[in-house]
Structure 1
Amino acid sequence: MDPLFLGAIVAVATILVLFSGVSVALGLLIVSGGFLVIFDGMRSLELMPEILFGKLDNFALLSIPMFIIMGSSISSTRAGADLYEALERWLTRVPGGLVISNLGACALFAAMSGSSPATCAAIGKMGIPEMRKRGYPDGVAAGSIAAGGTLGILIPPSVTMIVYGIATETSIGRLFLAGVLPGLLLVGLFMAWSLYSTWKSGDTNLLNARSYTWKERFEVLPRVVPFLAIILGVLYAMYGGIATPSETAAVGALLCLIIAVVIYKLWHPRDLWVVLRDSTKESVMILFIIAAAGVFSYMLSSLYITQSIAEWIGTLDVNRWVLMGAVNVFLLIAGFFLPPVAVILMAAPILLPIIITAGFDPIWFAVILTINMEIGLISPPVGLNLYVISGIAPDIQLKTILLGSLPFVACMVVAIVLLCLFPGLATWLPDAVMGARQ
C-alpha cells in the first residue's frame, strides 16, 4: 500500500479513536497497536512495551513533574491574588489599567506556574469580578483573562516547551529563551488592545478607580517578590551553567514549597498532600502521553509514513512560506480539538523534517507552534481556558467569553506574522546567551 495513502488512513483512524472519548495516550496506543499488528504481525506487539518505557528513559523528563510541583504549590496559595493586587495598586490610574494589571498578573503568574488553566483560575477569581464592578464589559473582563492565561505555555518555564524539546531533541534551555521576547510581545499586544478598546469606549466609569498611597503600593510587594526571585534564580542557574534544567526545576519546586509553607502557611499535611497528589496526576498524564506518542512515532516510521510525507513535501514546487501557511492552518485545526502536549508529540515527528528541509529554524518554529496552541486554548470546541473562565463566572455566557477573546486571538495572529517577518524575535536571545548554533 502507498505510504501516503496509508498515512491518510492512520490520520482518519486516529481522529475517530480520539473523538470516541478515550484518553489521548490510550487512543494513540490503540491506533499504533492496531496498525502494527495489521502490517507487521502479532510479533510487533512485543516491541511496544520496550518502546513505551524506553521513551521515558530520559533524564530531561524529570523536569516536567518538578516544574508542575513548582506551579501547583504556587497555585494552591494566595500568590495569584497578591500578584493581582500588587499590579492593580500600581496601575489603577492608567486608562484601562485594571485590564492591563490583570494581563500583567497573568504574564507573571504564567511564568511562575507554567500552566494556562491555573493562571486563568488564580487571576480570574479576583480580576473578573473587580473589572465587572468597575464597569468593564463582561466580554472584555472574561476574554482578557482567558487570553492572558494562554501565556502560561509560552513564557518560561513552560512544560510545553520541555515536551517539544524532548520530542525533537532540541535544547530546552534555548527553547525557554526563545519564548521570552515573543511572550513579552504578546503581553504588549494584549495591553495595547486593552488601552485602545478602553479609549475607544470613552466610558469615564472605567477610569473611576481608587487611589492608593505609596505605603499601600509597597506593602504588598514582600509577598510577591520571593516567587519572582525564584523564577529569576531558576533561569540564572540554568543559563549560567550552574545546573541542568532538571536540577534547577527540582530546586525551584523545593523553594516554592518552602515559600508556600512559610509565607502562605501551607503547613497542614492535607494541603501539602493535595499539591503533591494533583502534581502527580498531571505529571503521569503528560508522561503517559509522551510514552504513547513514542510508540505512535515508531509506528509511523516503521510503516514509512513519516519519511514518505517528508519526501513528498520536499518534491512540492511551492514557496516555503506557502508551506508554512499550510502548517499553521494544520496546527490551528489540531489545537481546536487536542491539548498542546498531544499535538506536539503527534505532529513533531512529521513536521520537523519538513520544517528543516524548507529552511526554517526549529527553535523559531517551536514558538510559532506554541502560539498556535495558545489560540486553540481559547477557541471552540475544546477551548480549555473558555471553560475555566465559565466555571469562575458562570453567569457570563460562553458566547460572550468567546467574543471577548477574539480580539486577543487577532493579537496572536499578528504576533505570528511579526515572527515570520522578524524571526530574530525568537532566535536572537538564545543565540546571544548560549552562542550561535553551528
Structure 2
Amino acid sequence: MTPLMLGLLFLAVTLLFMFSGAPIAFALGSVAVVFMLGFMPASALDTVTQNVYEEMASITLLSIPLFILKGAAIGRSRAGQDLYAALHAWMGRVPGGLGIANVLACALFAAMAGSSPATCSAIGSAGIPEMRRRGYSPGFAAGIIAAGGTLGILLPPSITMILYAVAAEQSLGRLFLAGIFPGLLLVALFAAYAMWRYKREYAAASPGSPLLQRETFTRRQKFEMLPRVIPFVLLLTGVMVALYGGFATPSETAGLGALLALLLIAVIYKVWRPRDLAPILAATLKESTMLMMIIGMSLLFSYVMSYLHISQSTAQWIVGMHLSKWVLLAAILLMIVMLGFFLPPVSIILMTAPIVLPPLKAAGFDLVWFGILMTIVMEAGLIHPPVGLNIFVIKNIAPDITLGQIIRGVLPFVLLMFVAVLLICIAPSIATALPDAVMGS
C-alpha cells in the first residue's frame, strides 16, 4: 500500500474512532493498536508499554501534575473571587470598568492557575452574576469570561505550552517568555472591546437601568481588599523569577508553586484540614490522569504514524507543493482551526506536530514564534462551536444564559484573536523580543 493510501486510511480510521464517542485517549490508542496489528511486525505490540513509557519519561512532563495541583489549590479557594472583587473596586471609575476588571482578573488568575476551565469557573461564578446585576447583557458577560479564560493556555505557566515544547523540542523557558507579550496584547484587545461594547449598551440603556448606576468605593475599602490578593500575585511573580532567573528548572518551579499555593490557601483561607484538601487532591489526580493518558496515547499514535512513514510522507508532500511560506502558514493555521472544531489543544498539538513542524522549519519559520500563533488559534477553538469547552463551562455556571447568547457573545472575541494572530505575523517581535532579550537570540 502506498504512503498516500495508508495515510488516507489512517485518517479515516482516526475520524471513525473520534466520532464514535470514545474518550480521546482511548480513540487514539485504539487507532495506534489497530495499525500496529495490520501493518507492523507482531513484535511491535510487545513494546507498546515500553514505547509509551519512553515517550512520557520526560522531566518536562513531570511539571504538568504539579502545575495542575497549583491551579487546583488556587481554583478551589476564594482567591478568584477576591481577585475579581479587588479589581472591580479599583477599576470602578473606568467606563466599562467592571468588564475590564473581569478581563484582568481572568488574565491574572489564568497566569496563577494555568487552566482555562478553572479560570472560567473561578472568575465567572462571581463575575457573571455581578455584571448581569449591573445591567450587562447576558451574552456580553458570558463572552468576557469565556474569552478571558482562554488566556490560561497562553500565559505562563501553560500546560499547553509544556506539551508544545516537548513535541517541537523547543525550550520551555523561551515559550513561556514568548507568550507574555501576546497574552498582554489579547488582554488589551479584550479590554478595549469591553469598553467599546459597554459604551454602546450604556447609550442604549433605558432610564432606570442598572447600567446607568455607578458604584463607588472609598480609598479605605479599596486597600482593605488587597491583603488577600497580593500574596497570590507575589506567588506568580516568585515562580516566574525562580524559572527565568535560573534558580530552578520548570519541574522544580512547578513543585515550588504548588507547595506555596497550598501554604497560601492554608494561611489565608484556612484550607488545611484533610476534608478541605481532599477535593483539591482528587481534582488534581483526576485531571492529571486524564491528561497523561491523552499524552501517552497521542505519543503512541505519533510513533505509529512515524513508523509507517505517514507523517514524513505528508510533510514531504506539503514541502513538495512549493507553496510560499505565508500560504503554507495560512493553510496550516486553517487546518488547526478546523481541528479545533472537534479536538482539545492537547490532542491537536500531539497529533499535528510530526506533520506540520518539519515543513514550517524548512520554510524558515521560528518554531517558538509558531507555537504562540498555534496557541492563540487553539484558544479560539476553546470558545467557538461546536465543541468550545469554555462555552459549556459558562453554560454550567450560568444555566439561564442560552447557548445562542453565549455563542453570540464570544464571536467578537474570536475575531479579536485572529486580529492578534495577524499582528504577530506582521510584527513577530511581539512574541520573540522578550525571549531574545532574556535568553539571547
Structure 1 residue 336 displacement after superposition: 1.4
CA contact (8 A) 1:93 1:207 kept: no
Alpha-carbon distance between aligned partners in 1 of 2:212 and 2:117, rounded to the nearest angstrom: 29
Which aligned pairs between 1:320-339 and structure 2 lie closer than 5 A? 320-339=325-344
Matched, 1:214 2:219: yes
Asked if residue 149 in structure 1 is aligned to residue 149 in structure 2, the reply is yes
For 2:302, the equivalent position in structure 1 comes to 297
Q: Is the 8 A contact 1:314 1:354 kept in 2?
A: yes
Answer whether contact 1:90 1:217 (CA < 8 A) is retained: yes
1:164 aligned partner: 164
Q: Note if contact 1:96-1:206 (Cα within 8 Å) is conserved in structure 2.
A: no
Q: Deviations over 1:6-49 (max 9, x none)?
A: 11221121111012111211111111111121112322211211
Mapped to 2, the partners of 1:65 and 1:291 lie a distance apart of 14
- Following superposition, the deviation at residue 337 of structure 1 comes to 0.7
Alignment of 1:67-82 (within 5 A): 67-82=67-82
Give the letter aligned to residue 197 of structure 2.
S
1:21 corresponding residue in structure 2: 21
Q: Which position in structure 2 is the counterpart of 1:273? A: 278
Letter paired with 2:188: G
Deviation at 1:216, TM superposition (A): 0.6
Q: Deviations over 1:233-276 (max 9, x none)?
A: 11111111111000011011000000011101112201211111
- The correspondence of residues 30-69 of structure 1 with structure 2, limited to 5 A, is 30-69=30-69
Query: Which residue of structure 2 lines up, in the alignment, with residue 251 of structure 1?
Result: 256
* Aligned-partner residue type, residue 132 of structure 2: R
The equivalent residue for 2:234 is 229
Contact 1:55 1:290 in 2 (8 A): no
Unpaired runs of 5+ in structure 2?
none
What is the CA-CA distance between 1:389 and the residue it aligns to? 0.6
Equivalent-residue separation in structure 2 for 1:229 and 1:349 (angstroms): 38
Corresponding residue SS for 1:209: coil
Provide, for residues 184-221 of structure 1, a one-character-per-residue CA deviation record: whole Å limited to 9, x for no partner: 00000001111111223314653522110111111111
- Residue in 1 aligned with 2:243? 238
Alpha-carbon distance between aligned partners in 1 of 2:321 and 2:272, rounded to the nearest angstrom: 61
Instruction: Report the more deviating stretch, 1-10 or 333-342.
Output: 1-10
Task: Note the alpha carbon deviations across 1:251-308, whole angstroms, 9 max, x for none.
Answer: 1100000001110111220121111111011111111111112211111111111111
Q: SS of the counterpart of 1:337?
A: coil
Alignment deviations for residues 291-327 of structure 1 (CA, whole Å, 9 cap, x no partner): 1122111111111111111111111132111111111
Letter in 2 for 1:339: P
Give 1:415's aligned residue: 420
Q: Contact (CA 8 Å) 1:79, 1:223: kept in 2 or not?
A: yes
Once residues 330 and 18 of structure 1 are traced to their aligned partners in structure 2, the CA distance between those partners, rounded to angstroms, is 17
Amino acid across the alignment from 2:142: A
* Contact 1:25–1:288 under 8 Å retained in 2: yes
Q: Which residue of structure 2 aligns with residue 92 of structure 1?
A: 92
Letter in 2 for 1:36: M
- Provide the residue aligned with 1:137 in structure 2: 137
Contact kept? 1:121, 1:392, Cα under 8 Å: yes
Alignment RMSD: 1.1
* Cα 1:355–1:207 shift into 2, 3 Å: farther
Q: Given that residues 95 and 207 in structure 1 are in contact (C-alpha distance below 8 angstroms), is that contact kept between their aligned partners in structure 2?
A: no
Amino acid across the alignment from 2:430? L
Match in the other structure for 2:392: 387
2:438 is matched with: 433
Once the two structures are TM-superposed, the CA of residue 4 in structure 1 deviates from its matched residue by 2.4
Look up the match of 1:344: 349
The separation in 1 between residues aligned to 2:251 and 2:29, in whole angstroms, is: 28
User: Contact conserved, 1:95 with 1:206, CA < 8 A, in 2?
Assistant: no
Deviations 1:379-412 (CA, angstroms, capped at 9, x unpaired): 1111111111111111110010000011101100
Which residue number corresponds to residue 116 of structure 2? 116
* Equivalent residues, number: 436
- The 8 Å contact of residues 96 and 207 in structure 1, kept in 2 or not, is answered as no
Structure 2 match to 1:188: 188
- Letter of the 1:348 partner, please give it: A
CA distance in 2, matches of 1:294, 1:362: 19
In structure 1, how many angstroms separate the alpha carbons of the residues matched to 2:189 and 2:296?
37
Deviations 1:353-392 (A, max 9, x none): 1210121110011111111111111111111111111111
Cα distance between partner residues in 2 of 1:359 and 1:39: 34
Deviations 1:119-154 (A, max 9, x none): 111111111111111111111011111111111110
Structure 1 spans left out of the alignment, 5+ residues: none
Q: Please report the TM-score for the alignment, with normalisation by the length of structure 2.
A: 0.97
Where in structure 1 do 4 or more consecutive aligned residues deviate above 4 Å?
none
How many percent of aligned residue pairs carry the same amino acid?
53
Match of 1:375 in 2: 380
1:113 & 1:73 partners in 2: Cα distance?
A: 8
**Partners in 2 of 1:414 and 1:126 — Cα distance?**
29
Q: Which moved more, 1:1-10 or 1:258-267?
A: 1-10
Aligned partners of 1:318 and 1:383: how far apart in 2?
31
SS at match of 1:286: helix
Q: Give me the TM-score of the superposition, normalised by structure 1.
A: 0.98
